[in-house]
Structures are given as structure tokens and as C-alpha cells.
Amino acid sequence: MNLELKDKVAIVTGASKGMGLAICETMLNEGVKVMMVSRNEKLLKELKEKYTDQKFHVDFCAGDVSSPDLHETVIERTMSRWGSIHILINNAGGPPMGSFLEQNDSSWDGAFQTNLMSVIRFSKAVTPHMKKNKWGRIVSITSSLAIEPSPVMVLSSTIRAGVSSFTKAISTELAADNITVNVICPGGVLTERLKSLIEDRTIRENRSYEEILNESQASIPANRFASSKEIADTILFLTSENGSYITGVSLAVDGGLLRSY
């Protein structure tokens, strides 16, 4: 299948590991030029060297997406390097576990800046370039919690739902410019983030890691967690010409986990 993505320019945040890294690799293999964004500068340097040796077009910008100025640096570097921006993938680690009685104002503000304001800032910053191209794709990775909230994951549930609402609002405004805006809501994906959440539960519930892991997978109709590549492949379709008529959607990629429809 020709996805018609060769020589498109993408910005991927949270790019140094997990789903973000899988998205970078999948796009690079389709000929996309990728600007990787992450806090881990050392790892980004290693990844750039690796992919450059493989003749891919790749660069990086180190920084924390919760910073109110990072998007400006990333846009400037991307435009300086490749002269255009076609794709934005908003991806950032989720907030800590805990009920609303456990979370203080600082926790709420951290989640707000990292997981909502970063999406708003980056999306607004790339939009003029996509409008100029009359072509653009914005995809934000959130969580199934945006659709079915959990009391012990109240920060993520609340903020991720905000991303879905923001996405639906701007998708209507940008559709006429051939810019699609969507959200991917993964269920369980076996990343370092998921492993850390399971470890938190072992402490909270005084149970073993293996017991909680097996129980969690058994709760999914597919009876397993997703791989990062499965999420990346879904995003690849949405950013391609084949996905050009899909916009304003919060798509659960969850192996049947969610009970809603």
C-alpha cells in the first residue's frame, strides 16, 4: 500500500522510547523526515546517529513539553532543517496514579501543562504551516481513560478527556484546509509507563507484579496488551492519504477493553 508519505515532515514528541519511538521508526521507514522531541538528550543523540547511519532523515530537539516555550524552538529547528511541517504527533507520559483526594494543585497543574497545554501549544504552532501546505495531520495519543474514566487515574482521565474535546473543536475549523485532527486512545500497551503503573499497584494492593499483570491482560477481550508498533501502524494510516476523510475522532485501540461504543 502506497501511503504517500515520502518526504513529508513530522514532529513527534515523547520520541525517545515506547510508543513515540515506535512511531518515529514506522514513519522513517515510509520516507518521512522526523524531528524527535524528548527530555532525554543523550538518548536522542544516540538515536539520531543510529538512524542517520541508516540513511534516514532525522533530527532532534531536547526539552520538556510542559515548557511554555519548547514548541517555538521545535518549530524553528524543523523549519530551518526541512522548510515545512506536515505531521504532528502529540505524545507525552501520563500523570501519576491516585484518586482526587490524593492529588494536590501542583499535581493538577503538572498534568494540565504536560498533557493538555502541550497539545494546544504544538497544535497551534504547526497549524499555519499546514494551512500553507493545504495538507496536515495532527494526532494526539491519550488513553482509553478519556472515554471510560477511572477514580484512581483521575488526573489522566480528566486531562485526556480535555484533549478529545479540544481535538473535536479544532477539527471542524481545520477540515476545509485538508488538515485532519484525531486522538488515539490506547488501552494497555506494554511500555515502561504501563510497567510503572503496575508496580504502583503492587504497593497499593500488596500483590505481586505477575498477578496484577496477568489479571490486567485477562480483563482485555484480546487477552493481551498491544505492542507499541500496533499503535504506530494505526497512526501511520491516519496520517496517510488513506486516512484523509477521518477527522475529529477519538479512536480506541484497546483490544476490546472499553465497554462503551
Q: Is 258 within a domain?
A: no
- Say yes or no: 235 and 209 in one domain: no
Q: Is 38 within a domain?
A: yes
- Say yes or no: 157 and 235 in one domain: yes
Instruction: Give the DSSP H or E segment for 48.
Output: helix 41-53
- Say yes or no: 82 and 130 in one domain: yes
- Say yes or no: 181 and 136 in one domain: yes
- Say yes or no: 236 and 149 in one domain: yes
Of the pLDDT bands very low, low, confident and very high (cuts 50, 70, 90), residue 15 is very high
- Say yes or no: 220 and 138 in one domain: no
Domain total of the chain: 2
- Say yes or no: 129 and 182 in one domain: yes
Q: Tell me how far apart the alpha carbons of residues 122 and 74 are, in angstroms, rounded to a whole number.
A: 9
Q: Is 182 within a domain?
A: yes
Q: Residue 200 belongs to what domain range?
A: 190-225
- Say yes or no: 22 and 123 in one domain: yes
Give the three cell numbers for residue 16. 525517545
Q: Is 261 within a domain?
A: no
Q: Tell me how far apart the alpha carbons of residues 217 and 203 are, in angstroms, rounded to a whole number.
A: 19
- Say yes or no: 157 and 102 in one domain: yes
Beta-carbon contacts of residue 245 (< 8 Å; ≥ 6 apart) = none
Q: Is 164 within a domain?
A: yes
pLDDT at 168: 98
What count of residues does the chain have?
A: 261
- Say yes or no: 168 and 67 in one domain: yes
Q: Please report the sign of the dihedral spanned by the C-alpha atoms of residue 216, residue 193, residue 122, residue 103.
A: positive
Q: Is 158 within a domain?
A: yes
What torsion do the CA atoms of 144, 149, 150, 155 make, to the nearest 10 degrees?
90
pTM above threshold 0.85: yes
pLDDT at 68: 96
pLDDT at 201: 87
Q: Is 183 within a domain?
A: yes
User: Can you tell me the mean pLDDT for 113-129?
Assistant: 98
pLDDT tens for 175-222 read 999 999 999 999 888 787 778 888 888 998 999 988 988 888 898 999
Q: Are 75 and 1 in contact (CB under 8 A)?
A: no
Q: Is 1 within a domain?
A: no
Instruction: Give the DSSP H or E segment for 62.
Output: strand 58-62
- Say yes or no: 56 and 178 in one domain: yes
- Say yes or no: 178 and 201 in one domain: no
